[in-house]
């Protein structure tokens, strides 16, 4: 009887949370139509959505000590995916309850010395990011040889979004195309997907204003063994949403670690 009573209480809580999510999604849709204060207001509302979904997930999850890093084909990200579209279901997951909020430390600059691979053509597309960027380069040049015939590459080993932001801030000129592959090293210290999306959003938004002729490409975050798959899925949904709002390109390479021998 007690178990049944607790289950009913959980059902009521989950229903209330879902109602709140639907209300927030409606508010976000209105803001998207009005295009009013997207960077600040929508970011805050989507963060609340993610927090509510995470709460529901905690109520419904079946945590296990190990999870395969190989995602199923049903996890392929779609262009129309939005925050708040997650289907709540039981998932095997690693315990990440000790994750810390990285946005509180966003001002603590972690300057890293990048490995630079330059071609003679200074107008060649620039690909910048953490060490996974090198594998993104392989896929880009293989799948889009005409668009990315040669590239200038800047690899920041262990680099985070803040490192890429600091680098771009110090540039006076950028080529026509810039590809950013970063965020994987932000995951471990982030409590919600918004803590990854928001600093990247602000970085892209500010540099789009500085370099209006540059075409931006944002790579998704690959699945990795030391992070919950559902968290990376939600983070990439947030990045898709960001790319849609900022009108930049999204590169889905979530399976990159399985496609390339590292």
| Predicted confidence pLDDT, tens digits, the chain (262 residues) | 555 555 566 677 777 777 777 777 777 666 666 655 555 566 666 666 666 666 666 666 543 333 333 333 333 444 444 444 444 333 333 333 332 233 333 333 444 545 444 444 567 889 898 877 665 556 555 655 555 557 788 888 888 999 999 999 999 999 999 999 999 888 888 888 888 888 899 999 999 999 999 999 999 988 877 778 888 888 999 999 999 999 999 988 766 555 443 3
**Do 130 and 27 fall within a single domain?**
no
Q: Cβ–Cβ contacts within 10 Å for residue 40, how many? A: 10
Domain that holds residue 139: 126-259
Domain-embedded: residue 143: yes
Rounded distance, CA 167 to CA 229, Å? 30
Domain-embedded: residue 220: yes
Q: How many domains, in total, are found in the chain?
A: 2
Domain-embedded: residue 107: no
Domain-embedded: residue 75: no
Task: Supply the CATH number for residue 136's domain.
Answer: 3.40.50.1110
Domain-embedded: residue 95: no
Q: What is the pTM of this model?
A: 0.55
What pLDDT digit, counting tens, does each position of 47-83 carry? 666 666 666 666 665 433 333 333 333 334 444 444 4
Domain-embedded: residue 140: yes
Q: Find out whether 60 and 244 touch, Cβ atoms under 8 Å.
A: no
**Do 136 and 255 fall within a single domain?**
yes
**Do 131 and 244 fall within a single domain?**
yes
Domain-embedded: residue 40: no
Q: What is the DSSP string of 53-75?
A: HHHHHHHH----S---S---GGG
**Do 130 and 245 fall within a single domain?**
yes
What pLDDT digit, counting tens, does each position of 168-186 carry? 999 999 999 999 999 988 8
Query: For the purposes of burial, counting CB atoms within 10 Å of the CB of 27, is it exposed (0-12), middle (13-18) or buried (19 or more)?
Result: middle
**Do 17 and 132 fall within a single domain?**
no
Rounded distance, CA 213 to CA 110, Å? 29
Q: Find out whether 102 and 195 touch, Cβ atoms under 8 Å.
A: yes
Domain-embedded: residue 67: no
Rounded distance, CA 217 to CA 207, Å? 13
Q: Find out whether 154 and 126 touch, Cβ atoms under 8 Å.
A: yes
């Amino acid at each position: 009887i007690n178990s049944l009573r607790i289950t009913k209480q959980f059902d009521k809580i989950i229903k209330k949370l879902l109602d709140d999510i639907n209300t927030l999604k409606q508010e976000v849709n209105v803001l998207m139509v009005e295009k009013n204060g997207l960077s600040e207001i929508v970011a805050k509302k989507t963060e609340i959505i993610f927090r509510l979904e995470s709460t529901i997930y905690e109520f419904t999850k079946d945590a296990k000590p190990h999870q395969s890093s190989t995602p199923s084909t049903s996890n392929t990200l779609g262009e129309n995916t939005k925050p708040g579209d997650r289907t709540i279901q039981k998932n095997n997951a690693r315990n990440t309850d000790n994750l810390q909020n990285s946005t509180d430390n966003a001002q603590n600059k972690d300057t890293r010395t990048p490995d630079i691979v330059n071609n003679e053509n200074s107008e060649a597309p620039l690909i910048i990011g953490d060490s996974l960027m090198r594998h993104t380069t392989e896929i880009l040049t293989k799948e889009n040889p005409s668009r990315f015939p040669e590239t200038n590459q800047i690899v920041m080993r262990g680099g985070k979004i803040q490192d890429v932001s600091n680098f771009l801030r110090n540039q006076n000129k950028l080529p026509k195309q810039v590809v950013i592959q970063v965020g994987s090293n932000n995951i471990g210290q982030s409590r919600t997907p918004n803590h990854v999306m928001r600093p990247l959003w602000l970085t892209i938004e500010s540099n789009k204003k500085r370099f209006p002729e540059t075409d931006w490409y944002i790579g998704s975050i690959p699945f990795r063994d030391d992070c919950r798959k559902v968290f990376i899925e939600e983070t990439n949904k947030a990045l898709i949403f960001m790319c849609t709002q900022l009108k930049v390109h999204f590169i889905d390479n979530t399976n990159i670690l399985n496609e390339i021998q590292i």
